[in-house]
Amino acid sequence: MIPGLLRKKCVASPALVEATFWLGTLAVVSRVLPLILPPSLVEALPWSASIAQTAYAFSGMLGLGAVLCLWVNLWKTAVG
């Protein structure tokens, strides 16, 4: 869709499209999964709260990586 808007034949890097997808998916899972876990599970396993907080923290970095991959791919597609 983006190459069509930029009047290009294809994206600059299909590998970056795949990286954007996987980083974005991992970011969403890391952010949402700790929130939908049942509270009884978090209370039963004392270390699960710290894992949930760590996953939530990494979701920001993964999301930033996805946005960076998207930006690089769009930039290369538009310029090249």
Q: Which amino acid is at 31?
A: R
Flag whether 2 is in a domain: no
Structure confidence by residue, pLDDT tens digits, 2-55: 777 777 888 888 999 999 999 999 999 999 988 888 888 878 888 888 888 899
pLDDT score, position 21: 97
Flag whether 30 is in a domain: yes
Number of domains the chain is built from: 1
- Whole-number Å distance between alpha carbons of 19 and 67: 10
Flag whether 31 is in a domain: yes
Flag whether 1 is in a domain: no
Of 19, 1, 24, 26, which is closest to residue 77 (Cα–Cα)? 1
DSSP 8-19: -SS-S-HHHHHH
Question: For the CA atoms of the chain, what is the radius of gyration?
Answer: 17
Of the listed ranges 38-42, 60-64, 70-74, the least confidently predicted one is 38-42
Query: Do the beta carbons of residue 33 and residue 65 sit within 8 Å?
Result: no
Flag whether 29 is in a domain: yes
Domain hosting residue 19, numbered range: 11-79
Flag whether 51 is in a domain: yes
